[in-house]
């Protein structure tokens, strides 16, 4: 389940989603470009910009 502040990135187009208001329903995937978005771990963005 996503927590407030969690970031998800689309591997296809690069859009990033930040969770502002998490829900308490069953776990689900965030879908973009027809594929599930992947969670961006803290510090991962800094490493990829080098």
Work out the number of other CB atoms within 10 angstroms of the CB of residue 9. Answer: 19
CB 11 within 8 A of CB 31: no
Domain boundaries in the chain? 7-48
- Location of structure tokens 């027809």: 34
Quote the CA–CA distance of 11 and 21 in Å, as a whole number: 23
**Tens digits of pLDDT across the chain (50 residues):** 778 899 999 999 999 999 998 887 877 888 999 999 999 987 765 555 55
Pairing between β-strand 7-9 and β-strand 38-40 as defined by DSSP bridges: antiparallel
CB 36 within 8 A of CB 10: no
Local structure of 48: helix, strand or coil: helix
The pTM of this model reads 0.72
């Amino acid at each position: 389940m996503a927590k407030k502040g969690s970031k998800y990135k689309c591997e296809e187009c690069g859009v990033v989603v930040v969770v502002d208001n998490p829900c308490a329903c069953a776990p689900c995937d965030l879908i973009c470009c027809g594929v599930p978005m992947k969670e961006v771990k803290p510090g991962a963005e800094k490493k990829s910009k080098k």
